[in-house]
Amino acid sequence: MVDHIADGVKKYAEWSSPVKNDKFTAAVFYSSAYGYTKALANAMKDGVEEVGGVCELFDAAENDMEEMAEKFTAADAVFVGSPTLNRNAVKPIWELLAHIDAVENNKKPVAVFGSYGWSGEACEQLSSHMKLMKMAVYEKPYKCIFKPSAEQLEEAKQYAAEFVKSVMGE
């Protein structure tokens, strides 16, 4: 009986410890109605690669939820991007988060980003939600109003690089 409890505690500790891949692996999940959050997602990927990480990109509206949840769990760091529509983050991103196991993603380093038009609630909503899931949400989300300029895309790339370096402990 005591052994079962000890085994259970050990397994829980394993499941709730952050992942460490041999090569630093990030995954970017986004949804985008008009392509602006998608442009930021590509810049985030470039930022990860700039500091030597590997990065996969997933449009949450076009990929299988279970498959994305596995990629989310297996990544050393994750990016989550959504525009603000109707004062909310968009459904494919909420749906993805509903597929994520909170225990397996305990302390998962996550950065949030998105394009918005005026009120821009999505990033803060997603950040709060993932903090409640006990993930390690990066200080500030990266947000831009409507279409990101070339300078903003470069800024987004540097934001991603800084985030990854902070996770790598550099």
Ligand X SMILES: Cc1cc2nc3c(=O)[nH]c(=O)nc-3n(C[C@H](O)[C@H](O)[C@H](O)COP(=O)(O)O)c2cc1C
Closest by CA position to 27, among listed 108, 128, 129? 108
Q: Cβ 42 to ligand X, closest distance in Å?
A: 12
CA–CA separation, 75 and 54 (whole Å)? 10
Using alpha carbons only, give the angle 53, 56, 18 rounded to the nearest 5 degrees: 65
* Shortest separation between residue 113's beta carbon and ligand X, angstroms: 10
Q: Which is nearer to ligand X, 27 or 122 (CB)?
A: 122
Choice between 108 and 143, CB closer to ligand X: 143
- Residue 124 CB, nearest distance to ligand X (Å)? 11
- What is the full DSSP assignment across 30-58? E--SSSHHHHHHHHHHHHHHHTT-EEEEE
Chain residues binding ligand X by CB under 6 A are: 32-37, 83-87, 115-120, 146
| Cα–Cα distance, 97 to 100 (Å, whole number) | 5
Question: Minimum CB separation from ligand X for residue 15, in Å?
Answer: 34
Which residue, 25 or 115, has its beta carbon nearer to ligand X? Answer: 115
Q: How far is the CB of 83 from ligand X (least distance, A)?
A: 3
Residue 30 in tokens: 């986004």
Q: Which two tokens stand for residue 162?
A: 């800084």
Q: Compute the distance between CA of residue 47 and CA of residue 64 in angstroms, rounded to an integer.
A: 25
Q: Which is nearer to ligand X, 8 or 117 (CB)?
A: 117
Based on CB atoms, which residue is closest to ligand X, 59 or 101?
A: 59
